[in-house]
Structure 1
């Protein structure tokens, strides 16, 4: 099972549409607890964990791999998503886990999301995740390609499926 994590809390997010689309291509679970996570505090990173943190760590532990789609906000990762990543460091569940991401930023974005994804690589490396570079993809998604919270364009859907398939293959290896 692949855990799909959207780094955006925004309603109608293109990143969420990518995650929703990916869920159709494999055995996957969409993580839905981003807004429920408490602010990371190292003093709270012990048993008993806050319930939302325990749930996050449990879902990561149960997954064969993790696919992330996050936007760039103010030149970096959105704060709520960075908070999620901070909670993954101390638990160790992501250590050695195959992880990849899809960068869905439009070509109009100032850096095309590169700064956020550079930060994502840094944090995931620090946490010991096994980044599957062949499964990381830059697939700019225009807003008009999203209908009913999913990607409708066949070419874009195909590119998402290829990235996900590469992650699944890495998880099986």
Structure 2
């Protein structure tokens, strides 16, 4: 694998979101062989309706295609009322019945270390959907109240190192999974 393609989802629709800033910082920190694509259309998804699952809903098809094209996923979500943001939960609900998420390596970013309930819920949802939470790739950085945007995060040595390490760990896990698949395919 020459290049690693990662999809990043922010569970916040706020213009000045710390979660969005964290994943934008990842795009600035990523080396040339790692492409971090930020999916910006979660707010365009209709509310999940099982009656429409399997139908051609353009916004859902676009999300599923982006997931299929990615080697791994990065999720940054705020915590609302001790849970995952509604927009992110809605997106994940649309992905439950598909194969796109199965065995997909996932890194979680927490921008408020005191907010642990959403992270725990996110781990549970991702695991239930058969995604692989790469624990060494999960990062918690103290952005809440910092006023930092993506460029400020990159300039903060400690936060930049944490994000870079998480990115490196996610890519290492993806390479290990790909190697395992290739070895299994040749031994069958």
Cross-structure match for 2:95? 88
Cross-structure match for 1:168? 171
Taking structure 2 as the reference length, the TM-score comes to 0.84
* TM-aligned CA deviation for residue 143 of structure 1: 3.7
Cross-structure match for 1:47? 55
Cross-structure match for 2:137? 135
How many residue pairs were aligned? 167
Alignment of 1:116 with 2:118, yes or no, is yes
Cross-structure match for 1:5? 9
> Is the CA contact (8 Å cut-off) linking 1:18 and 1:150 kept in structure 2?
no
Question: Which portions of structure 1, spanning 4 or more consecutive aligned residues, are displaced by more than 4 angstroms?
Answer: none
Cross-structure match for 1:109? none
Query: In the alignment, which of 159, 162, 165 is matched to residue 162 of structure 2?
Result: 159
SS of equivalent residue, structure 1 residue 96: coil
CA RMSD of aligned residues (A): 1.5
Q: For residues 175 and 50 of structure 2, what CA distance do their matches in structure 1 show?
A: 33
Query: After the TM superposition, which of the residue ranges 67-76 and 21-30 deviates more from structure 2?
Result: 21-30
Q: 1:148 to 1:103 in 2, by over 3 A?
A: closer
| Structure 2 unaligned residues grouped into runs of 5+ | 177-188
Alignment of 1:63 with 2:70, yes or no, is yes
Q: For residues 144 and 28 of structure 1, what CA distance do their matches in structure 2 show?
A: 24
Cross-structure match for 2:146? 144
Taking structure 1 as the reference length, the TM-score comes to 0.91
Q: For residues 46 and 147 of structure 2, what CA distance do their matches in structure 1 show?
A: 33
Cross-structure match for 2:112? 105
Q: For residues 11 and 52 of structure 2, what CA distance do their matches in structure 1 show?
A: 22
* TM-aligned CA deviation for residue 138 of structure 1: 1.6
Q: 1:117 to 1:51 in 2, by over 3 A?
A: same
Q: For residues 150 and 87 of structure 1, what CA distance do their matches in structure 2 show?
A: 34
* TM-aligned CA deviation for residue 72 of structure 1: 0.2
| Structure 1 unaligned residues grouped into runs of 5+ | 107-111
